[in-house]
Amino acid sequence: MSKKNIVSIEDRIPKLKQARKKKANRRLIFYLSIFFFLIAVIIYLQSPLSHIKTINVEGNSYIADEEIIAYSGLTVDTNIWTISQSEIERSISNDPIVESVSVERKLPWTIHIHVSEEQIIGYIREDANYKPVMSNGEILELVKDTYHGDAPLINGFDDEEYLDRMAGQLKVLPKNILNLISEIHWEPTEDNQNNILLYMNDGFIVKGTIRNFAEKMEVYPSIVSQLDAEDKGIIHIGVGVYFESFDNKKKETEMDAVSEEEVE
C-alpha cells in the first residue's frame, strides 16, 4: 500500500471534530428556531394581533348588519382562531328570516358572513301599511307604507296554518307566474278549507285550492293562450280545468295543451 493513501488518525480527528461541531450547530439552530417560532405563536395568540378587525356581512336585505353580528356574538376582541363557524351559523339561522348562512374566516383578521334570506312571496295589508310575508309563512314587522306590486297581496288568511301552506306553495311557484298574481284571497267553506281566489294582473280570476296549487298554476300561461284576450272571466283549476266567462256563459274550453293529467 502506498504511503500517500495512508491518513493518520491525528490528521482525521480535527476534521471529525469540525464535522460534529457543524452538525451540533445545525441541530441547535433548528431547535432554537422551533422554540422561537412557538414563542411567537403564543405571543400572537395572546395579543390583539390575533383579534378580529373586520366583520363583513352580505346577502341581507331585511336584517340589519348589526343584528346579524349580534347573533354571531363576534366582536373586535374575539380571537379569530377560537371561533366556531358551525355554532355561529346555527345561531344566526335561528332568525326566521334567514334561510341559510355561511361563515368564512379570511386571514389575517376578517370574518365574512353570507346570509340568504327567505323569499318574499306576498304582502299583508294592515290599515295603510304593508307587511312582507316570507316563504316560510313568517310575517315581518318591517312595515312599508307603499306597495310596488313586486309580490301579490294576501288577504283573509287569519289562520296561520293555512297561511304557511299558501306560502309554501308560492315559494316553489315559478317567479314568472308569481309575478302574474295581483291578489290572493282565502275563501274557506265548510266543505273545503283550502279554497282560494286569485286576481291576476291580466284581468282574469282564478279559482283553485291551496293543495297542489303551485303544480296546477304552472299551466296558467297555456290556459290563457287558448282564450280570447277580450273575453275575461274565471279560470277554474280545482277539479278539472274550465273557463267561465263573466257573461255567465260557462265554457268547457277545449284545452289540448292542458289536459287534466297535467294539472291533477
Mean pLDDT of 105-128: 92
Q: Percent of the chain, pLDDT > 90?
A: 53
Domain 120-263 falls in which CATH fold?
A: Rossmann fold (3.40.50)
In the chain, where are the structural domains located?
A: 3-46, 50-117, 120-263
Tell me: pLDDT of 13 over 80: no
Tell me: pLDDT of 204 over 60: yes
Structure confidence at residue 66 (pLDDT) = 94
Structure confidence at residue 77 (pLDDT) = 87
Q: In which band, very low, low, confident or very high, does the pLDDT at 46 lie, cut at 50, 70 and 90?
A: confident
Q: Read off the pLDDT of residues 143-190 as tens digits, 9 standing for 90 and up.
A: 777 888 889 999 999 999 999 999 999 999 999 999 999 999 999 999
Q: In which band, very low, low, confident or very high, does the pLDDT at 249 lie, cut at 50, 70 and 90?
A: low
Q: In which band, very low, low, confident or very high, does the pLDDT at 20 lie, cut at 50, 70 and 90?
A: confident
Structure confidence at residue 234 (pLDDT) = 93
Tell me: pLDDT of 224 over 60: yes
Looking at domain 50-117, its CATH superfamily turns out to be membrane protein fhac (3.10.20.310)
Q: Read off the pLDDT of residues 163-174 as tens digits, 9 standing for 90 and up.
A: 999 999 999 999
Kindly report which listed range (39-43, 73-77, 225-229, 231-235) carries the lowest average pLDDT score.
39-43
Q: In which band, very low, low, confident or very high, does the pLDDT at 231 lie, cut at 50, 70 and 90?
A: confident
Kindly report which listed range (38-47, 107-116, 129-138) carries the lowest average pLDDT score.
38-47
Q: In which band, very low, low, confident or very high, does the pLDDT at 262 lie, cut at 50, 70 and 90?
A: very low
Tell me: pLDDT of 254 over 70: no
Instruction: With beta carbons less than 8 A apart as the criterion, state whether 154 and 184 touch.
Output: yes
Q: In which band, very low, low, confident or very high, does the pLDDT at 142 lie, cut at 50, 70 and 90?
A: confident
